């Protein structure tokens, strides 16, 4: 371990984890309402990124459709992402009701492939580094800290802003589920479909809605991610680290997703501070190794509930 | 009847979070006996069978079968001792045919391993044929020859119950655990099922532990009855004794959703 | 579908009832199809031969996945990674141990099988979706190992090491027209073994776990033991497929197409072909490989008609679109796959001309 690098790694790791958590949240939301694990979330995210990029305009390339300010571009992307989420649920997932787990997993994997092709076709395959961001990616706050490298911890402004927005988004979602009528209906559906139906909740509407919201959450996470690493079709694979975060948290817990995300960010940060090259190269698999360890210690995840099976 | 204790349940306690499913339940089963467990919904009957199967691990207590403490075994080690089971909510292998379901239950009676099976030579093929003969006999006994190659998922409910009994029999059990084998059947199907159970009991001398809600049937076929209520064993005795036991009558009459309390008395 | 056999068509013994090739014409059909493929170097075009060879080893990988996912019901998102293991083990056995490729194939199977066992261990604690995640972990961890560990042997992060073409004496199997016979031979063996597994004690235990794991356990099936066996066999098949592919390409490397997308492709082949059937892997792998060829053809032709800057996106988008769409269409309209279609077709044919 390179100890002087650890403080920076911890801080960056946690900040990165916020976005991973937000991305994980989108998957957990769908899972909670409909028990579908959406493997295409990464591609929804990439789609959201490119839509934003499209609306906001890429000044150098002339590929832009509109030259909207970032905020409006994001809003426009949200609307379309929600719509796409809604349509996906209606067209692809609804016919799958009652099918075995494998079929449903494969459906979202097939969907991911389809979206990948569509993204490649419409936006091209080359990465775009000119994603609009409120601050230049290099600006940072400098915090003096005696144990850190050069006695300073650097906080990149985009990263801090990203983390704050991710946390705000999460809080907003949790409040939505606690206090709004729709949110409560969605929670009731998550608990028990039959019961929800019997008290007059339209279960299909809730499914559609949760996919629409998941589309927005994905786009939001994607935009935050793209502000740091640019827009590219490979964003969908960057997102693969969000999957272990979900299981670490326990698959059905919203706060669990965030904590899982932070755990993943932290694990990735810490391996980066290692003095061994091999370990430093393991940022992409660190979350999965962590996941395997947790599976043996606490198979239901950190916040999941242990269920005793019945027969 | 042989009075030797065959299965002995000793002070079994089981809780799920706050609910006590079984409280200090003890009873014995003699070899060759047909014992029924009755009790209102949620009384802990299925949980009792699950403990015998070592599917649930009691918080306290022992279950001894032929010298083995079942509570210490992994669940898959119980069947080879000769304990077979049917389930309250049919748990067949839905994608297999009737024949395959029964053959699958011959698992514990077959020995050939992975390589022999993959080559399908010598021992493997011989065992397949031998076991197939046993299974065909059971199919004949249960009168399900006509559906032997049908996929069980597509069969009507009553037949599936019967196939499930067949699957349990294919294990050639010493002790047969039947969880509501006649639930949801019409009268004719019930009579068939009761006839099969009695035949198994009388012709093969199999010890049977039966859970059943239909009082009339229980009183007709069981030799001894145990009553559970809220996890407690509240009575034990011959059908006649149980019919007239005031605690039992109380338990059934006091039970809001009790399905057939009057039967207890009128039969 | 034996139910639909015409009257008067009986089996005279259990043995006969239990065999796959019940009629003389079954044998004729079998030898005829083997003969057609085996002689294809004499009548086929190079494209046909190359494609047939490719389909061959993909079928083997799907057969393995079929045992794990189709029969045992455990979803695996890591089958391609086990192919990678097989490819490396085989190539290294030939180049460093000096063994013949024909011996290297079973060694590769064993090596991949053992790695498969390790990644099957989580099945002790988790199942269903969580287990699928553990296999996804395999799909990331194994390529990471081949990229960053033992770089001297494995070639490093984008390194490629040679996998020599097999030879018997002076006859070198260094072109598809020759190599096809090795693939075909391996395929015949793997099919024979897979078919036997599916109809014997092991196969029934697998399907029991898939259809009702808890009941299977209470009826004496050791869940963990049998799941591990399924993981082992599936990875062995992947190992053979990977080794065949490596020696056919004469090279093996992490970046040569053993990624998550290939694992997904394998699952897609299985579903499109028909889960839990012996015919499924043949139909599914052929269908998907041909679909890929077709996507490539469409992409190239559209690209020629469009401006040059469109070329990269056209070449990369048809494959995922066609595959994704096909998979979705099958899942919605024919979740039992092509094998089921074939059964229906056969049943209708038998009852002709009174099929309604
Ligand atoms: N796996 C489990 N997790 C939580 N609670 C359980 C579980 N299994 C049983 N219980 C509880 O234990 C109690 C006894 O259940 P059990 O299924 O044994 O009753 P039963 O007598 O078989 O009822 P029924 O006639 O409805 O089948 C019930 O309160 C039930 O809710
Ligand atoms: Mg019960």
Lowest mean pLDDT among A73-87, A186-200, A208-222: A186-200
**Integer Cα distance of B64 and B51 in angstroms:** 11
Tell me, rounded to whole angstroms, the distance of Cα C251 from its chain centroid.
20
The fold for domain B1-82+173-267 equals Rossmann fold (3.40.50)
| Closest ligand by atom to B50 CA | 1
CB-closest option in C75, C125, C328 to A295: C125
CATH of the domain at A281: 1.10.3470
Concatenating the DSSP letter of every residue in C97-160 gives I---HHHHHHHHHHHHHHHHHHHHGGGGT--THHHHHHHHHHHHHHHHHHHHSSHHHH--TT--
Residue A310 lies in a domain: no
Q: What single DSSP character describes residue B70?
A: G
Number of domains present in the structure of chain A: 1
Give residue B46 CA to ligand 2 midpoint distance, Å: 4
**Mean pLDDT across chain A, nearest whole number?**
87
- Count of domains in chain C? 1
- Measured in angstroms, the CA of B92 and the nearest CA of chain C are apart by 7
What is this structure's pTM? 0.93
Report C:269-288 residues touching A (Cβ under 8 A).
271, 275
**Alpha carbon of C205: minimum distance to chain A alpha carbons (Å):** 18
Q: Please tell me if residue C122 touches chain A, with a CB cutoff of 8 Å.
A: yes
- In terms of CA atoms, which chain B residue is nearest residue C233? B114
Q: Which of B56, B57, B120 to mutate to test the interface with C (most CBs of C within 10 A)?
A: B120
Task: Summarize pLDDT for C54-112 with one digit per residue, the tens.
Answer: 999 999 999 999 999 999 999 999 999 999 999 999 999 999 999 999 999 999 999 99
Binary contact (A311, B16; C-beta < 8 A): no
Look at A189-193, B186-190, C317-321 and tell me which has the smallest mean pLDDT: A189-193
What's the token pair of residue B87? 């389930």
CA B30 to chain centre: 16
Q: Do B107 and C205 touch (CB under 8 A)?
A: yes
* B16 to A308: CB separation less than 8 angstroms, yes or no: yes
The CB of B25 under 6 Å from ligand 1? The reply is no
Residue C303 near chain A (CB below 8 Å): no
Range of the domain at C119: 45-277
Residue C354's pLDDT is: 65
* In-domain check, residue A308: no
**Res. C6: pLDDT tops 80:** no
User: Can you tell me the mean pLDDT for A31-36?
Assistant: 86
pLDDT confidence bin for C1, thresholds 50/70/90: very low
- Closest chain C residue to B152 measured between Cα atoms? C211
pLDDT tens, position by position, A99-132: 888 999 999 999 999 999 999 998 888 888 778 8
Please list the pLDDT of chain B residue by residue as tens digits (267 residues): 445 788 999 999 999 988 999 999 999 999 999 999 999 999 999 999 999 999 999 999 999 999 999 999 999 999 999 999 999 999 999 999 999 999 999 999 998 888 888 888 777 888 888 999 999 999 999 999 999 999 999 999 999 999 999 999 999 999 999 999 999 899 899 999 999 999 999 999 999 999 998 888 888 899 999 999 999 999 999 998 998 888 888 877 665 444 444 444 333
Contact residues, chain A, for B89 at CB < 8 Å = 311
Residue C185 in domain:
yes
Neighbours of chain C (3+ CB pairs under 8 A): A, B
Share of chain C above pLDDT 70, in %: 95
Instruction: Return left, alpha or beta for B231; rule: phi > 0 is left, psi -120 to 50 is alpha, else beta.
Output: left
- Could you give the C-alpha distances from B66 to B6, B82, B83, in angstroms and in order? 6, 10, 11
Cα C328 to the chain's mean position, in Å?
20
A50 touches chain C (CB under 8 A): no
Q: What is the pLDDT of residue C7?
A: 56
Contacts of A176 (CB under 8 A, 6+ apart): A182, A183
Per-residue pLDDT of C119-137, as tens digits, reads: 999 998 888 888 999 999 9
List the residue whose alpha carbon is closest to atom 6 of ligand 1. Answer: B16
Name the residue ranges covered by the structural domains of chain B: 1-82+173-267, 94-172
Question: Is A35 contained in some domain?
Answer: yes
In a domain, A108, yes or no: yes
What's the gap in Å between B232 CA and the centre of ligand 1? 13
In chain A, which residues have their Cβ closer than 8 Å to the Cβ of B56? 308
> Mean pLDDT score of chain C, rounded to an integer?
91
Looking at the domain assignment, is residue A309 inside a domain?
A: no
B22 C-alpha vs ligand 1 centroid, how far in Å?
10
Its domain, for residue A76, covers 3-297
CB B257 less than 6 A from any atom of ligand 1:
no
Q: Is residue A303 part of a domain?
A: no
């Amino acid at each position: 371990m390179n100890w002087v690098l650890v403080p920076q790694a911890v801080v960056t790791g946690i900040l990165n984890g916020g976005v991973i958590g937000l991305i994980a949240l989108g998957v957990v939301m769908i899972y909670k309402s409909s028990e579908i694990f959406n493997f295409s979330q990464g591609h929804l995210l990439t789609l959201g990124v490119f839509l934003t990029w499209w609306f906001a305009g890429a000044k150098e390339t002339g590929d832009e459709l509109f030259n909207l300010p970032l905020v409006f571009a994001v809003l426009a992307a949200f609307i379309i992402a929600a719509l796409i989420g809604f349509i996906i649920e209606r067209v692809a997932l609804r016919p799958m009701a009652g099918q075995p787990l494998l079929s449903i997993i494969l459906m979202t994997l097939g969907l991911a492939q389809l979206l990948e092709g569509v993204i490649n076709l419409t936006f091209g395959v080359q990465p775009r580094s000119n994603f609009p961001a409120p601050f230049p990616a290099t600006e940072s706050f400098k915090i003096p800290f005696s144990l850190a490298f050069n006695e300073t911890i650097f906080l990149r402004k985009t990263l801090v802003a990203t983390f704050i927005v991710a946390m705000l988004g999460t809080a907003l979602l949790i409040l939505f589920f606690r206090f709004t009528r729709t949110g409560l209906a969605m929670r009731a559906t998550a608990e028990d479909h039959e019961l929800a139906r019997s008290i007059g909740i339209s279960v299909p509407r809730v499914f559609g809605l949760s996919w629409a919201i998941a589309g927005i959450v994905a786009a939001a996470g994607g935009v935050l991610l793209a502000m740091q690493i640019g827009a590219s079709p490979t964003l969908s694979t960057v997102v693969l680290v969000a999957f272990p975060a979900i299981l670490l948290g326990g698959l059905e817990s919203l706060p669990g997703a965030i904590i899982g995300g932070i755990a993943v960010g932290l694990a990735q940060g810490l391996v980066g501070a290692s003095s061994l090259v091999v370990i430093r190269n393991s940022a992409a698999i660190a979350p999965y190794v962590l996941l395997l360890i947790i599976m043996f210690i606490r198979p239901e995840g950190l916040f999941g509930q242990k269920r005793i099976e019945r027969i | 009847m042989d009075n030797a204790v065959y299965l002995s349940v000793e002070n079994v306690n089981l809780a799920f979070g706050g609910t006590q499913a079984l409280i200090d339940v003890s009873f014995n089963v003699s070899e060759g006996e047909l014992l029924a467990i009755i009790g209102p919904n949620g009384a802990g009957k299925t949980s009792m069978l699950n403990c015998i199967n070592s599917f649930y691990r009691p918080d306290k207590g022992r279950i001894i079968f032929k010298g083995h403490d079942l509570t210490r075994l992994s669940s898959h080690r119980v069947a080879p001792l000769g304990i077979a089971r049917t389930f309250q909510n049919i748990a067949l292998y839905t994608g297999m045919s009737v024949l395959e379901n029964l053959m699958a239950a011959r698992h514990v009676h077959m020995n050939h391993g992975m390589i022999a099976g993959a080559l399908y030579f010598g021992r493997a093929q011989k065992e397949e044929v031998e076991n197939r003969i046993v299974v065909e006999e059971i199919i004949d006994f249960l009168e399900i020859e006509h559906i032997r190659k049908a996929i069980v998922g597509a069969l009507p409910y009553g037949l599936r119950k019967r196939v499930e009994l067949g699957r349990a029999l294919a294990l050639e059990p010493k002790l047969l655990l039947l969880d509501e084998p006649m639930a949801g059947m019409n009268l004719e199907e019930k009579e068939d099922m009761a006839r099969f159970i009695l035949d198994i009991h009388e012709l093969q001398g199999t010890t049977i532990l039966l859970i059943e809600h239909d009082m009339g049937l229980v009183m007709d076929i069981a030799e001894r009855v145990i009553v559970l209520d809220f996890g407690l064993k509240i009575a034990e005795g011959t059908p006649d004794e149980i019919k007239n036991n005031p605690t039992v009558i109380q338990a059934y009459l006091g039970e809001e959703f009790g399905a057939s309390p009057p039967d207890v008395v009128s039969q | 579908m034996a139910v639909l056999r015409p009257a008067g068509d009986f089996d005279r013994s259990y043995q006969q009832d239990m065999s796959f090739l019940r009629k003389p014409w079954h044998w004729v059909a079998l030898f005829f199809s083997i003969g057609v493929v085996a002689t294809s170097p004499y009548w086929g075009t190079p494209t046909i031969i190359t494609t047939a060879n490719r389909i061959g080893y993909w079928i083997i990988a799907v057969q393995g996945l079929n045992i794990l996912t189709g029969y045992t019901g455990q979803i695996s998102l890591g089958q391609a990674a086990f192919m990678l293991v097989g490819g490396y083990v085989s190539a290294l056995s030939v180049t460093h141990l000096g063994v013949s490729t024909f011996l290297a194939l079973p060694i590769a199977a064993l090596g991949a099988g053992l790695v498969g066992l390790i990644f099957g261990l989580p099945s002790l604690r988790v199942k269903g979706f969580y287990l699928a995640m553990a296999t996804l972990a395999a799909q990331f961890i194994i390529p990471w190992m081949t990229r960053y560990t033992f770089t001297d042997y494995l070639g490093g992060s984008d390194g490629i090491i040679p996998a020599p073409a097999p030879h018997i004496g002076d006859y070198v199997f260094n072109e598809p027209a020759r190599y096809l016979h090795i693939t075909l031979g391996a395929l015949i063996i793997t099919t024979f073994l897979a078919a036997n597994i599916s109809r014997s004690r092991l196969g029934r235990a697998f399907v029991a776990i898939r259809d009702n794991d808890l009941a299977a356990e209470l009826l004496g099936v050791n869940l963990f033991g049998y799941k591990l066996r399924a993981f082992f066999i599936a990875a062995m098949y992947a190992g053979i497929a990977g080794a065949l592919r490596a020696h056919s390409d004469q090279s093996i490397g992490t970046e040569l197409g053993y990624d998550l997308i290939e694992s997904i492709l394998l699952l897609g082949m299985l579903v499109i072909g028909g889960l839990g059937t012996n015919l499924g892997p043949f139909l599914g792998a052929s269908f998907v490989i041909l679909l890929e060829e077709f996507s490539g053809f469409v992409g190239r032709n559209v690209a020629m008609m469009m401006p040059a800057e469109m070329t990269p996106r056209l070449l990369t988008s048809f494959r995922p679109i066609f595959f994704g769409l096909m998979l979705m269409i099958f899942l919605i309209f024919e979740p039992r796959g092509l094998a089921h279609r074939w059964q229906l077709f056969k049943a209708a044919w038998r009852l002709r001309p009174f099929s309604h």
